[in-house]
Amino acid sequence: MSDLIKSLKALRDAAKTLTIEIHRLDGEISALHLERSQMASAPVSRGDYLDFVRHDIATKSERYLINIRREIKGKKKEFNYLNSLVDQVGGDLRIPYLTGRPGVPIEVTEEAMYAIFAPAIVTAVESAINGMDWPDAGLPAGERVPALAALDARIAVLETTRDELASQLVDAGLAS
């Protein structure tokens, strides 16, 4: 067998080996994407759901708390001043407790309701959830974020490796 034929056969075998490895990597990448999709879309437990509810309420409450802090910060805090206000008939510290902002043309703002009644709202939602059928939960929410990040990192490494192998085939003129 001539050296040229041996070289061409070796080149063909190398291309075949690279192609097989690319297909293997494609399969592994596809399986990891499926695993990631299933993990990301799996239901959460009742407890994890309530944690999301608590976070949502806290976020909504924070707007009220920011506003009420701003109002209180701008008020005098000296005893004589405060005492004189409450000693007056109908005394009023002029703090918009139910809205968090002066001049709001409603009795109570939504964010004030969340801030004031957060524990009661969470308890009511928890009662509602406990009275429902609930799907089997996947991985706990606190473990999902790092697990998804690990899958993403693994997928990125495999895709980089796969792309490098495909580039080698293209650079050698064995694929387009």
Instruction: For residue range 137-162, list pLDDT tens digits in order.
Output: 999 999 999 999 999 999 999 999 99
Q: Where are the domains of the chain?
A: 1-42+138-176
Query: How high is the pLDDT of residue 172?
Result: 81
Whether pTM exceeds 0.75: no
Query: How high is the pLDDT of residue 90?
Result: 67
Compare 88 and 66 and report the one with higher pLDDT. 66
pLDDT in tens, 30-50: 999 999 999 999 999 999 999
Cβ–Cβ contacts within 10 Å for residue 107, how many? 8
**Residue 164, by phi and psi: left (phi above 0), alpha (psi -120 to 50) or beta?**
alpha
Compare 110 and 103 and report the one with higher pLDDT. 110
Query: How high is the pLDDT of residue 4?
Result: 86
Query: How high is the pLDDT of residue 101?
Result: 77
Q: CA neighbours within 13 Å on the CB side: how many for 171?
A: 7
Compare 74 and 91 and report the one with higher pLDDT. 74
Query: How high is the pLDDT of residue 14?
Result: 86
Both ends of the chain: CA-CA distance in Å?
29
- Tokens 């802090």 map to which residue? 69
Q: What is the mean pLDDT of the chain?
A: 90
